[in-house]
Structure 1
Amino acid sequence: MSHPHWQTFLQHQSAEPSLQHPTNAAPDLLHATALVSLDDRVVLEVRGPDSEKFLQGQTSASTAHATSTIAPPTVFCTPKGRAIANAQLIKAAPECYWLLLERSIADALHQHLAKYAAFYKAELTLRDDLTIAGIAGQHTLETLGAQIPELPQAGWGVRVRVDEELAITRHPHDMTRLILIAPEERLATLCQTMSAELTLAPATLWQRLDIEAGLLWLDELQREKWLPQMFNWEALAGISFKKGCYTGQEVVARAHYRGQVKKRLMRLSMSGDQAPAAGTEVSDAASDKGLGEVVSSAPAGNDHVELLAVLTLKDDMPALAINGQPAHMLPLPYALERLDPETLLD
């Protein structure tokens, strides 16, 4: 993967004294508009006359929900209902869908879908030629709106320019944040026009924003470990219980209707500046009994770290510890209940 135009632009930005920012910190998003190069994301393209029919039998979202204005979250499962990868489903063009997902898990999803795609007129391609960046801040819409009109106004909204292979999608958070997907020269040119208003920020900023939004993007370490509800995907409008069959649907639906999901994605904080690695155990502080594991973490300033962990919930949750240090539960920005993706179309 080589994106010389994009790298040249980033190098130029980092050379500007007014745009430099400490790599271990993040800008004040109330006053600055942050630009983050999302090298850990990639697009898996599904293209062909049967692309919609093929995806309808594989994804938890209905392809009917992927429109010119909505790009719904989705998940792909094994027949046993275990999540292989979660993604955002973008209708990039007629007979063409983009799956935006975590790069480390893309090959596994590609191989999984290829087993089924062989029976359809649909081709799968990892689009390494596309570059992905995030823009976040209080003035994001104002900054980008001067260049691209009709930007998405709500979470999971999308704006697609088919002729340019440019997609702009909005991800959930109280702070406005957009993901831009385009060929690297097009993206570099677009960001260059806004360069005076952009401040480069580290990838940990975007990870922190995902954590604050209670949003986990599965990576290779987490592949096939959980049912989608265990990382709250149905609370983020990521599962349609009305669309009909898809691979793993029976298990996912049974767990929902029988109330069998005992593990949940929770948001935590702890003191210090060292973010615990994914897979680190979260335990009962008193008994040291394991209750779950860290799945994502990032420094949050003021000498503390925020993280997401999949935990076994109890009626009376004990005090928690990570690596012997106290960890404290934080509220999620959404209710732990089913949010039908059909509501995105309202």
Structure 2
Amino acid sequence: MQPARRVLASTGAASAVRSPGASTCRACLTRLPAPQRRAFSRSAPRHAAPPAPSPAGLAELSSRKLISVSGPDAAKYLQGVITANLFPGYAGPSPTSEHLRADAGFYAAFLTAQGRILHDVFVYRDARDTAHPPGHSWLVEVDAAEADRLQKHIRRYKLRAKFDVRLLDEGEGAVWQAWDDASPSLPPSLPSSISNTTVITTPDTRAPNLGHRLVTFSPTPSPPVSSPTLPLVPESSYHLRRYTHGIPEGQSELLFNQALPHESNADAMRAIDFRKGCYVGQELTIRTEHRGVVRKRILPCVLYPDGQPLPEDLVEAYRPEIEPGVTAEEIPREASIGRAPGGKKGRSAGKWLTGVGNVGLALCRLEIMTDVVLPGEASSGAGGFGEGDEFVVGLGEGEEGKKVRIKAFVPEWLRRGLVRGEGH
């Protein structure tokens, strides 16, 4: 039985829109909460590392939660505070439901007024609401550890806009990721226990062949019965898939009030519409797009022990742990990456973010850790990348002086985007 689906429709080129979200007082929008650095995020992978990457799977994402934003001004408010465009192709002063984008869901981000990432989100049309006009009911999917903070942020800056904000109760809705490398472009074939419920399905367009995002609503049996073609897998398998594709997610990886959109690949992951009108954080984001040189990017990395040759393939190099028993989870978040002993001297090459097994993500200096040539610069030089260069990252407390080797990879979809100066 096929599930009820919202089909992703192509959208036209976006153009300038001024929204009532932009009517929020600029002075108010700049008075954002002070940054609160957290040593660890509850969204970080806490499950056992999978034995190998799964070519197909259906994973329930307990690391994500849903917030309902519903009311006559919901779409207009969201238009003024997220990086994506709800009204692509419309340049008039008063967009209506007829101008809304047609897809069921899309990726976006909330920024500070200084252009830093507050939250990365998926935004969906709420398929349950059939009593109100299109655009009145939306669901915002966010890092579960940050859901309450985002709900309060929306309430704080809604001012007189007419909409309600509510964090969905536990069990009321669930977020899933489905993928099948044998048919990556097709909607997933779901177990009957899921397909019999209300389901929102949309392609995950952050990277090619990453899979499909799903939202299901109660009643859903737990756990659902898997299908022969799409087995149920643990959430750690989804995290591993993200890491091998080079996709950061949640505020353990996109550091709250610190991460820049371009350094976090939000531009290449289609989170930002650069032809959209005013939204919070737009000025610095647009300036970086047109004038800045992005020297750091979040990249997938593999950890490997001393004495082994440089890994050539990220997926083939994956292991649940590194001998003797080191895993990516043992490396402190934001641990500095440097050159291996005996190599060139120079500044820090990057910062570790998170991982599972021996694969994870790090914020890397492109000219030091990769062969990417930045615009207007030579391919190498003193302290620049050289064939065979090796790097190390330190382990946690109690392991002072102990380091593990690390190599960064540039995914092909991101490399193409860097060459063209655009997303995939």
Q: TM-score, normalised by structure 1?
A: 0.75
Q: Is the 8 A contact 1:211 1:296 kept in 2?
A: no
Equivalent in the alignment of 1:97 = 138
1:105 Cα deviation from its structure 2 partner: 2.0
2:303 is equivalent to residue 270 of structure 1: yes
Equivalent in the alignment of 1:108 = 149
2:278 is equivalent to residue 245 of structure 1: yes
Equivalent in the alignment of 2:360 = 307
Equivalent in the alignment of 1:235 = 268
**Equivalent in 101, 106, 116 of residue 72 of structure 1:** 106
1:247 Cα deviation from its structure 2 partner: 0.6
Give the 5 Å matches for 1:327-346.
327-334=406-413, 335-336=417-418, 338-339=421-422
Q: Is the 8 A contact 1:105 1:223 kept in 2?
A: no
Q: TM-score, normalised by structure 2?
A: 0.62
Q: Is the 8 A contact 1:283 1:291 kept in 2?
A: yes
Q: Is the 8 A contact 1:143 1:197 kept in 2?
A: no
Q: Which amino acid aligns with 2:359?
A: E
**Equivalent in 374, 384, 390 of residue 319 of structure 1:** 390
2:352 is equivalent to residue 281 of structure 1: no
Of the structure 1 ranges 325-334 and 247-256, higher mean CA displacement relative to structure 2 is found in: 325-334
The CA distance in 2 between the partners of 1:98 and 1:223, in whole Å, is 21
Q: Which amino acid aligns with 2:179?
A: A
Q: Is the 8 A contact 2:53 2:240 kept in 1?
A: no
Equivalent in the alignment of 1:144 = 189
The CA distance in 2 between the partners of 1:313 and 1:52, in whole Å, is 38
2:259 is equivalent to residue 218 of structure 1: no
Q: Deviations over 1:31-77 (max 9, x none)?
A: xx423221001112211100111011101100125744352211111
The CA distance in 2 between the partners of 1:329 and 1:46, in whole Å, is 39
Q: Is the 8 A contact 1:134 1:180 kept in 2?
A: yes
Equivalent in the alignment of 2:21 = none
1:329 Cα deviation from its structure 2 partner: 2.0
- Seen in structure 2, the aligned counterparts of structure 1 residues 247 and 143 have a Cα distance that, compared at 3 Å, is closer
1:87 Cα deviation from its structure 2 partner: 1.1
The CA distance in 1 between the partners of 2:59 and 2:354, in whole Å, is 18
Equivalent in the alignment of 2:116 = 82
Give aligned pairs, total: 298
The CA distance in 1 between the partners of 2:103 and 2:219, in whole Å, is 25
SS in 2 for 1:215: coil
2:68 is equivalent to residue 45 of structure 1: yes
- Seen in structure 2, the aligned counterparts of structure 1 residues 84 and 143 have a Cα distance that, compared at 3 Å, is closer
Q: Is the 8 A contact 2:200 2:215 kept in 1?
A: yes
Q: Which amino acid aligns with 1:332?
A: P
Q: Which has the larger radius of gyration?
A: 2
1:200 Cα deviation from its structure 2 partner: 3.5
- Seen in structure 2, the aligned counterparts of structure 1 residues 96 and 164 have a Cα distance that, compared at 3 Å, is farther
The CA distance in 2 between the partners of 1:73 and 1:143, in whole Å, is 19
The CA distance in 2 between the partners of 1:197 and 1:84, in whole Å, is 37
Q: Deviations over 1:73-92 (max 9, x none)?
A: 11111111111011122222
The CA distance in 1 between the partners of 2:147 and 2:266, in whole Å, is 19
- Seen in structure 2, the aligned counterparts of structure 1 residues 29 and 175 have a Cα distance that, compared at 3 Å, is farther
Equivalent in the alignment of 1:166 = 199
2:220 is equivalent to residue 186 of structure 1: yes
Q: Is the 8 A contact 1:104 1:220 kept in 2?
A: no
Q: Deviations over 1:167-199 (max 9, x none)?
A: 12222555562332112423659x43x445553
The CA distance in 1 between the partners of 2:210 and 2:269, in whole Å, is 17
Q: Which amino acid aligns with 1:321?
A: V
Q: Percent identity?
A: 20
Question: Structure 2: which 5+ residue stretches go unaligned?
Answer: 1-46, 89-99, 128-133, 305-321, 368-379, 395-402
Q: Deviations over 1:112-154 (max 9, x none)?
A: 2222213211222222321222233335758616869xxxxxx
The CA distance in 2 between the partners of 1:45 and 1:310, in whole Å, is 32
Q: Is the 8 A contact 1:214 1:333 kept in 2?
A: no
Q: Deviations over 1:277-323 (max 9, x none)?
A: 43232223344843321223122xxxxx2221112333523632112
Q: Is the 8 A contact 1:102 1:219 kept in 2?
A: yes
- Seen in structure 2, the aligned counterparts of structure 1 residues 56 and 175 have a Cα distance that, compared at 3 Å, is closer
1:235 Cα deviation from its structure 2 partner: 0.9
Question: Structure 1: which 5+ residue stretches go unaligned?
Answer: 1-21, 149-160, 300-304
Measured on the aligned residues, the alpha-carbon RMSD in Å equals 3.1
Q: Is the 8 A contact 1:131 1:183 kept in 2?
A: yes
**Equivalent in 126, 129, 132 of residue 175 of structure 2:** 132
- Specify which structure has the higher proportion of strand: 1
Equivalent in the alignment of 2:82 = 59
